Structure 1
Amino acid sequence: MTALVFLVALLVTNALDERQSDVWNLTASVVIGGAALIVQYLVDFEKRLEEIETSQSGLIRDVKENLISHHVALTDLVDDRFRRINAATELFSNVDRSVLRSDAVIKLARRATECGKLNNETLKTFASEEIERLAGLLENLSSRSADCLGENQDWLIGLTHCIKHSLDATSTSVDHDFWTSEPASRYLEAQSDAIARGVEIRRLFLVSSPDDIDDELTELCSNQRALRIDARLVALSELPSWAQPGTQSDFIVFDRELSYEIDQDTKDVNAKTTLNARPTHVEHRLRQFTRLWDATLRLPHQGFPQPET
C-alpha cells in the first residue's frame, strides 16, 4: 500500500512540475509515502486497539460472569453445609433430650458410615436396605402403628424383654403349633425373666368347644402355669354372648400400652403382624381381654386346668 502511494506521488509530482529536479520529486514522493505509511500504521493500530479492547471487554465480562456464578455456587454450598450442620446438631440434640439411648443411635450412625466405606457392594446394599427398613419401622412407630407380613417373632420376644408391669395374651388354635418351636422357647424364657422383674402375665388359650380341649393342650397350659404364668383354658361356647371376642385373631397387650396382633388369612395362616399403640385401640383390646378373663373365672371349673392353690 505504501509503495503504491509512493509511485502515485512520484508520478503526480513529475506531472505537476517537470522543471523540478528528480531529487525534489523523489523527496516529495518519499515524504508523501512516509506520511501514508504513518497514517496506515495509525489506522491499523487503532483497529488492533479496538479489537484488543473488544476482546478484553468480552474477557472481563466472562470473568465477571464466572465470578458471580462461582460466588453464587460457593454461597449455596456454604448455606447447604450450614443447613446440614444445623440439622445434624438439632438431630443429636433431640436424641439427647429423648428417652431413647443416645449412645445406641450414635453407634448406629457411626456403624452405617463404616459399612458405606467397605469395598463390598453386596454388603453395602444389604446394609442400606436394613437401614431403610429400620427407618420405615421407626417412622411407623412414631405414628403409633406398624405392621409386617407374616408372624414377626422378633417383635414378640423383643417386646417381652421391654415390659415392666403386665402382659395379657390370647392364644387360639392357630397359635398352638408355635409353642413347640424354637422361638417359643426364647419367648417363654423372656417371660420368665419378666416375671422375675415383677411382671404379671395372663394368658387365655381359646378353643371353640370343650371337645377341642385335649391332653396336649392341657399339658401346655399346665407347663406355663408351672412357670408362674396365669394360664387358663376356655371354651368359647361356654361363655355368655357379652364375653364373646367377636374375632379369632390372637392379640397380646404389653403394659396396657401396646397391642401385638396376628391376623390370619382364609386358610388360617398367620398373614400379618401389627403393632398398635393408639390409646383407643389398646383400650378396646384391654376391655375385650378383661371380659374374656372375667367370664372365664365365673365358669364352674374356672377354665382348664384348675388354678393351683
Structure 2
Amino acid sequence: MQGEPGTPRPAAGGVHVAPLMLKILVTVVVSMVAYVLTNLVNQSGDELWKIAVAVVIGGSALIVQYMVDFEQRLGTLETAHTERSRRLEEHFDQLSDAAALLSDLDDAGMSTSDAKRLIKNLRRVGRQGPEIVKAFARSEVESLASVVTDLTGMSAHWPRDNNEWLIRLTQCAQRTIDATSSSVDQRFWGTDSAGPYLDAQTEAMGARRVTIRRLFMVKESEANAPEVMARFTRLCQAQLSVGITVRYLVLPPSPVEQPHPRPASRDVVIFDTDLYLEFEPDQLGVNVKTTLDAQRERVNRQVRWFNALWARAQEVAPDPAS
C-alpha cells in the first residue's frame, strides 16, 4: 500500500527513469523498428542478416546517445571550468591588490602589521560581535578613514575638543612642542584630561629629549587679580618643575565692538615645527572645533606667530622655596 515504510513512491512530475535504462529502452526500440523495416524491405531475406542489421542500427543508436551525452557533459565541464577560472582570476586580482596596498604602505613608512591586525580583528568582530559592537566598529573605521583621507590634503578637522589628538601627537613628537594656553583661569588644567597630557609631555622630554615651551595668555583682568595670579604662579611652577619652559604674555583688552575671540587667545600647539593643532573656542570659552594642519605655509605662519609672542613674553619668576 502506498505510504507504507519501504514502498517506493513516484517522483513528482512523473515516473523517473534512470539514464542507463532510458538508453537501453531507446536502443531496443530502435533495434525493433530496424528489424521491422528490414522485414518489410526484404521479406524473403535471411533472418540472421535481418537480426544483424537491427543489432548494428541499435548499437549505432546507443553510441550516438553516449556521444550526445558526452558532448553535453563536456560542455558543462567547460562552462564550469570557465566559471572557476574567472573566480580564481578575480581572487588573484584581489590578492594582488591587497599585496600592492601592503607594499605601498611599507614604502610609505606605515606599519603593515597594524593594517593586518586591524583587518583581522574587524573580521572577528563582524563574525561574533553583537550588532551594536559591529555598528560601533564600523563607525570607528569610518571616522579613521575620514581623518586619514583629510590628511592627504595635509589638514583635518574635528567638530569639538579633541584631547586624543593632542595626547597622541605629543607621543609622536620628536623635537619640539610649542604651545599657547589661552587663559590662566581655564578649567582644563584642573580636569582629568590634563593629567595624561602632562604625562605624555614628561615622557616626551625624558625619552626623546623633546623641548617644550608653553606660553600662557593672561588677560589684563586676570593680571590685576591677585588670587588668579596666585593660582597661575602655582600652575607655572608645577610645569617648570617637570622641565617645561614657561612664559606669559598679558593681553590688552579686546575692543568692545569685536564679538569674536582675539586670534592670540586661541590655544595652538605646534609639533616639531611641521604640524599644529588649533582649538577654536566659542563665546563662553568652550572649544567647539579642533583643526589639525600640516600645510607648510600655514605651519610656518604659526611658528612665526608663536616666536614673536614668545619674544615679547615675560619669564615666570622661580619658586623661592625651590
Same fold (TM over 0.5): yes
Structure 2 length-normalised TM: 0.66
Aligned residues: 245
Query: Could you say what secondary structure the match of 1:173 adopts?
Result: coil
User: Does the aligned pair in 1 maintain the 2:237–2:318 contact within 8 Å?
Assistant: no
TM-score (norm 1): 0.69
The yes-or-no answer on 1:222 pairing with 2:232 is no
Encode CA deviations 1:126-147: one digit per residue, 9 max, x unaligned: 1122112112122122321111
Alpha-carbon contact 2:184-2:216 (below 8 Å) kept? no
Matches for 1:78-97 after TM superposition, within 5 Å: 78-97=88-107
Between the aligned partners of 2:310 and 2:128, the Cα distance in structure 1 is 55
Paired residue secondary structure (1:137): helix
| CA distance in structure 2 between the partners assigned to 1:139 and 1:174 by the alignment | 36
Q: Which residue identity lines up with residue 156 of structure 1 in the other structure? A: L
* Contact 2:237–2:319, Cα closer than 8 Å, also in 1: no
Indicate if the aligned counterparts of 1:174 and 1:268 stay in contact, CA closer than 8 A: no
CA offset at residue 285 of structure 1? Answer: 0.5
Matching residue within 184, 208, 212 for 1:201: 212
SS at match of 1:195: helix
Q: 2:250 aligns with which of 235, 239, 242?
A: 235
Distance of 2:214 and 2:269 partners within structure 1: 9
Deviation (angstroms), 1:73: 6.1
Partner-residue secondary structure (3-state), 2:265: coil
CA distance in 1 between partners of 2:271 and 2:280 (Å): 18
**Contact map agreement 1:172 1:248 (CA 8 A) in 2:** yes
Write the distance in 1 (CA, Å) between the matches of 2:198 and 2:292. Answer: 20
Contact 1:157–1:187 (Cα < 8 Å) also in 2: yes
User: 1:198 Cα shift?
Assistant: 1.0
- Poorly superposed stretches of 4+, deviation over 4 Å: 66-76
Q: Give the alignment partner of residue 300 of structure 2, picking from 283, 289, 294.
A: 283
**C-alpha offsets along residues 112-166 of structure 1, whole Å, 9 cap, x if unaligned?**
1111111522212211221121121221223211111211111111111111110
Distance 2:319 2:194 in 1: 23
Give 1:214 deviation, angstroms: 1.9
Deviations 1:262-297 (A, max 9, x none): 01123322101111111111101100000000112x
Indicate how the Cα distance of structure 1 residues 138 and 175 shifts in structure 2: closer, same or farther if over 3 A, else same: farther
Q: Answer whether contact 2:167 2:196 (CA < 8 A) is retained.
A: yes
Tell me how far apart the structure 1 counterparts of residues 172 and 237 of structure 2 sit (CA, whole Å).
25
Task: Measure the CA separation in 2 of the matches of 1:254 and 1:119.
Answer: 38
Mapped partners of 2:157, 2:305: distance in 1 = 21
2:224 equivalent to 1:211:
yes
1: CA distance, partners of 2:185 / 2:98? 45
CA shift for structure 1 position 261: 0.8
Shift of 1:175: 7.6
Does structure 2 conserve the Cα–Cα contact (< 8 Å) formed by 1:146 and 1:274?
Answer: yes
The 8 Å contact of residues 174 and 269 in structure 1, kept in 2 or not, is answered as no
List alignment gaps of at least 5 residues for structure 1.
1-37, 39-59, 239-244, 297-301
Secondary structure in 2 matching 1:306: coil
| Aligned-residue offset at 1:79 | 4.2
The amino acid of 2:308's aligned partner reads R
> Paired residue for 2:34?
none
Could you tell me which amino acid in structure 2 is paired with residue 215 of structure 1? A
Which consecutive residues of structure 2, in runs of 5 or more, have no partner in the other structure? 1-39, 41-70, 254-261
Alignment RMSD? 3.2
Alignment partners' CA distance in 1, 2:185 and 2:128: 43
Alignment partner of 1:190 out of 200, 204, 228 = 200
Residues 73 and 263 of structure 1, relative CA distance in 2, 3 Å threshold: farther
1: CA distance, partners of 2:123 / 2:284:
44
User: Matched residues in 2 for 1:67 and 1:251: separation?
Assistant: 68
Greater helix share, structure number: 1
Which one-letter code corresponds to 2:166 in the other structure?
L
